[in-house]
Amino acid sequence: MAILIDHPCVQHKLAIIRDVDTGHKRFRELATEITKFICYEALKNIKTKKVLVQTPVSEAKCYKLDTNLVVVPILRAGVGMLEGILELVPTARVGFVGLYRDEISKLPVTYYERFPKQIKDGTCIIIDPMLATGGSTAAAIDKLKESGAGDIVVVCIVTCPEGIALVEGEHPDVAIYAAAIDEKLNEKKYIVPGLGDAGDRLFGTST
């Protein structure tokens, strides 16, 4: 299931982050801001518990988060979204998964993974700016499930029908939250219109 976050503030920031003239500093700032908006929606049904809080006036019935939240960036571009979630939920734990595409098989290969044990009873959020073919995202979900994760959501900035179809086909229980569902993939497997190579634009490594 893909959920589009079409809030006007998100769409305004999306217009700026897409712009080819937006430099890496502003790109990183926008990635953080957009991620925070998307995660706000992605976490709206997260488990809470009722607590009593003493205010200066009287006792108040309030709610606090009652689940372990684990954020899992797909290296390297996913790291550019990490700050946005940690600003929203500073107590979240962080895992990592590194993937690359084999030049012959064209399939994702894992070169690094490290998950906290709390994935087994918490909520895992996979983050990656671009969900394009969906191969890396599906592979990351595979790794989390193999390690015992049960509750997983995906947060990206831009995706496309091809990537959504692949992830939904392999993991129909995982929701995808995005700021944009673009037209298609081109022959080089870039999202159109997209925003280019998110990793290069985040870290200033464009040639």
Q: Are 126 and 76 in contact (CB under 8 A)?
A: no
Q: Which domain holds residue 53?
A: 2-203
The total number of structural domains in the chain stands at 1
DSSP state for residue 4 in the 8-state scheme:
E
3-state class (DSSP) for residue 174: coil
Name the residue among 184, 186, 154, 185 with its Cα closest to residue 172. 154
Q: Which CATH number is 98's domain given?
A: 3.40.50.2020
- 97 close to 140: Cβ distance less than 8 angstroms: yes
Model's pTM, two decimal places?
A: 0.93
Alpha helices (H) along the chain: 8-18, 24-42, 82-88, 135-146, 161-170, 198-203
- pLDDT tens for each residue of the chain, 207 residues long: 899 999 999 999 999 999 999 999 999 999 999 999 999 999 998 999 999 999 999 999 999 999 999 999 999 899 999 999 999 999 999 999 998 877 777 678 899 999 999 999 999 999 999 999 999 999 999 999 999 999 999 999 999 999 999 999 999 999 999 999 999 999 888 999 999 999 999 998 875
How much is the pLDDT for 207?
A: 53
